[in-house]
Amino acid sequence: SATSPRIFGNGGACMEGSDNRSIVAGMGRHKSVCGHVGAGHDPMNLILISTCDRKGGRGELLERMIASVAFAAPNIAGSLCLSLLLQRCSQRTCAKFSAPDFVKLAASDGLLSLSGARNRLLNLAFREELDWENTLIAFPDDDGWYPPATLEMIVSTFTRERELDFWFCRYAAEPVSAGLPGQPDARVPRLPDVVRRASSNTIFLRGSLARRVCPFDENLGVGTSNGSGEDTDLAVRAFI
């Protein structure tokens, strides 16, 4: 955006972590008004990009993440897709994986870096003939989850606020639902806010922006010698 981005939102996309606060943020170009899809607005599609090591012992956490998306699914007016790459998983085992209809599965016999896995799924997603102005992309980790009403609120905000391109928030081990009143007010972010607060679990990008700033840097992130930083790098590029 050529103008100053603004933070919106009042809920937390969440993962396990040491920060027990549920302060939230979102970012776009104009003021935001949350609500349901209104007249004249096309429904927003939602694509969630995630991956899991099937031999990593985190199956219950993955089930929790999928369940949190399933809870929100009836309230997502557009199409919903959780694109999930199962690593160290054969095609035969992948075919036996039980998941809701909105989960689109892919498999990899070996281990990929987190950035590499996400980029593989992004490449598949970007081949789809979608209205990318009306598509939202996010990157939940397999051990993260969305508190009730959070996904719905974020999707609704992007649907109503056509200039909103990038939303982020803090995460917490015990988050407060975005649908509850009395959440922290939004504020105008600075670059240090993006560096400190935008994580893979809490980044939401309008599809048109995602197509410009993706892919993830495959020299960064879990599974590389650097070990982290791919989400911060993407968020900074989205911000500037």
Tell me the pairing of strands 103-108 and 80-87: parallel
User: How confident is the model over 197-214, as pLDDT tens digits?
Assistant: 899 889 999 999 999 999
Instruction: Give the span between the Cα atoms of 42 and 201, in whole angstroms.
Output: 26
> What pLDDT, on a 0 to 100 scale, did the predictor assign at position 4?
32
> What pLDDT, on a 0 to 100 scale, did the predictor assign at position 35?
34
> Do the beta carbons of residue 148 and residue 240 sit within 8 Å?
no
**pLDDT for residue 65 is more than 60:** yes
Count CB-CB contacts under 10 A for residue 225: 7
> What pLDDT, on a 0 to 100 scale, did the predictor assign at position 182?
60
Average pLDDT of the residues in 173-180? 74
> Do the beta carbons of residue 119 and residue 216 sit within 8 Å?
yes
Residue type, 13: A
pLDDT band at 42 (very low <50, low <70, confident <90, very high): confident
Instruction: Give the span between the Cα atoms of 172 and 155, in whole angstroms.
Output: 20
> What pLDDT, on a 0 to 100 scale, did the predictor assign at position 176?
76
> What pLDDT, on a 0 to 100 scale, did the predictor assign at position 33?
31
pTM of the model: 0.84
- Determine what percent of the chain is predicted with pLDDT higher than 70: 79
- Determine what percent of the chain is predicted with pLDDT higher than 90: 63
> What pLDDT, on a 0 to 100 scale, did the predictor assign at position 25?
38
Residue the block writes with tokens 């992948």: 94
**pLDDT for residue 160 is more than 70:** yes
> What pLDDT, on a 0 to 100 scale, did the predictor assign at position 178?
64
Cα angle for residues 109, 62, 16 (degrees, 5° grid): 120
